[in-house]
Structure 1
Amino acid sequence: MSLKRVTLLKDKIVDFNTYPFSLPLIQRLDQLHFDHPVTFFVGENGSGKSTLLEGIAYQCGFHTAGGSRNNSYEVDQAESALGDYLRLSWLPKLTNGFFLRAESFYQFASHIDDVDSIKNYGGKSLHHQSHGESFLTLFTQKFTHAREKSIYLLDEPEAALSPARQLSLMRIIKDLSPRSQFIIATHSPILLGYPDAEIISFDQDRLEPIHYQDTDHYQITRRFLENPKRMLDELFSDDD
């Protein structure tokens, strides 16, 4: 791995009662080690996985609303509140890569149009493609054509992808992982099934690895698919 470790500089934090330092993540994190080419962050909404991923992107020099070191554009609240409190340990350090943030991808696509850079994305505006198509264009055109070793930080990439296209993304990750590193925050039980990846749970007392079959995402999805009627009956039942 190139990114070996993330350290939270707790001695720099003045007020643990303000966001994001009030997140359970801050209490659980001292150091996080990366030992696999593909690492997933998994946890409930508000657990801090996207906040940490954004902080890593900030320390990598990537635009925190989405992009690489070469992208510069104005987006409200694009600064990472956690980034200055993280230290990244590399061997070797990578300067090439990309941060995908699903919720602000529209602004990134507008930026690409503004700087007339669509030639790097298949020659077609990302706005002139469906949401899922534009995501895949990014993966297939920008990622697979990279000539240098890279680190890719993906925040909920499944947001615009059908199950079939999530499988396509897994194939892209497989093709790139020998020379690239991926850290992905996701809720997708499909993506979490990527072989030999490390899954870090943000829902435990500590940030620690968890087996795929032990994640809530796998357990709940499996229970639903095996017996949807039973789960829906339980969900919709009126308690006396």
Structure 2
Amino acid sequence: MFKIGSNSVGRYIRYIELNRDKVPSFTEYPFNLPAIKSLDTLSFHPKVTFIVGENGTGKSTILESIAVAFGFNAEGGTRNFNFASRATHSDLSQYIKVVKGVKRPRDGFFLRAESFYNFATNVEKLNLNHAYGGRSLHEQSHGESFFAVFQNRFCGESLYILDEPEAALSPSRQMSMITRMHQLIEEGSQFIIATHSPIIMAYPHSLIYQIEEGFEHVTYEKTEHYQVMRAFVNNTQKMLKLLLEDDKDDGV
């Protein structure tokens, strides 16, 4: 596994360690996931760290564990949120040590696509719409409500842990998200993001970990997501022909 020196100076989270000696079994979930099985120490960029990989590799699980170990609610929100619609998160956070930077973040947010509806419901119950642009998140489209959080609730000198933020965003909105991220980074914020989006992960001055058998440090152009998207866009008809012929051969 690639490591950036664990003594490197980070912004709010420098690195994490997995207490491997206390793990009950690496053959059981979540410790059998590729993201966890070979994990020892994982360092983070002071600006942006991306975690990418195929479905099922453990991106969301590792992100959730970092967020919970840092003090965020497992279903998302700021560190002041404590709602739970259903306890489905793993106990991985109990085995993760988060090594923090010298400075404490002014604020922070854990955004996860799969439980955003529950978060929005809690915002409404607590009468906090004013903090998110003054309009109910439920009265906006999924993409609009996501972006309302980025625009209205995020601020500088803060920590943001985002799990697949592209889930509700169009390509143009994803590009707008890059602009917003840059503003916040210039104001001293740190981002840790799990994503499938070649647009979002194109942000420069970042660290990209790709999960296969474990964490591998890669350049943007070496990510599978970028290579697949480039091949499809540059050779759309050829790719479609191959894909549809394969389906035909399978009797679909």
Give the direction of change, closer, same or farther, for the CA distance of 1:19–1:72 in structure 2 (3 Å limit): same
Give the TM-score of the pair, scaled to structure 2: 0.90
Q: Does the residue aligned with 2:135 lie in a helix, a strand or coil? A: coil
- Give the CA deviation at 1:35: 2.9
Q: Kindly provide the amino acid, as one letter, of the partner of residue 159 in structure 1.
A: A
Deviation at 1:24, TM superposition (A): 1.7
Q: How does 1:199-218 map onto structure 2 within 5 Å?
A: 199-203=208-212, 205-218=213-226
**Structure-1 separation of matches of 2:92 and 2:82:** 20
Deviation at 1:94, TM superposition (A): 3.1
Q: Is the 8 A contact 1:94 1:151 kept in 2?
A: no
RMSD between superposed Cα atoms in Å: 1.5
Residues 1:132 and 2:146 aligned together: no
- Distance in structure 1 (CA, Å) of the matches to 2:154 and 2:221: 29
The yes-or-no answer on 1:103 pairing with 2:114 is yes
Structure 2: distance between partners of 1:220 and 1:35: 26
Shift of 1:206: 3.6
How far the C-alpha of 1:111 sits from its partner, in A, is: 0.2
In the comparison of the two structures, how many residue pairs are matched?
236
Identity over aligned pairs, percent: 47
What stretches of structure 1 of length at least 5 have no aligned partner?
Answer: none
Residue 177 in structure 1 maps to residue 188 in structure 2: no
1:236 Cα deviation after fit = 1.7
Question: Would the alpha carbon gap of residues 180 and 80 (structure 1) be closer, same or farther in structure 2, given more than 3 Å must change?
Answer: farther
SS of the residue 1:25 aligns to: helix
Whether the aligned pair in 2 keeps the contact of 1:7 and 1:88 (CA below 8 Å) is: yes
The equivalent position to 2:202 in structure 1, one of 193, 197, 204, is: 193
Instruction: Determine the structure 2 residue equivalent to 1:39.
Output: 49
Q: In structure 2, the residue corresponding to 1:177 is in which secondary structure?
A: helix
Q: Deviations over 1:144-172 (max 9, x none)?
A: 3x6xx211000000000000100111011
How many Å separate the matches in 2 of 1:77 and 1:20? 15
TM-score of the superposed pair, with normalisation by structure 1: 0.94
**Structure-2 change in CA distance of 1:94 and 1:59 (3 Å):** farther
Partner of 2:4: none
Structure 2: where are the runs of 5+ without partners?
Answer: 1-10
Of 130-139 and 65-74, more deviation after overlay is shown by 65-74
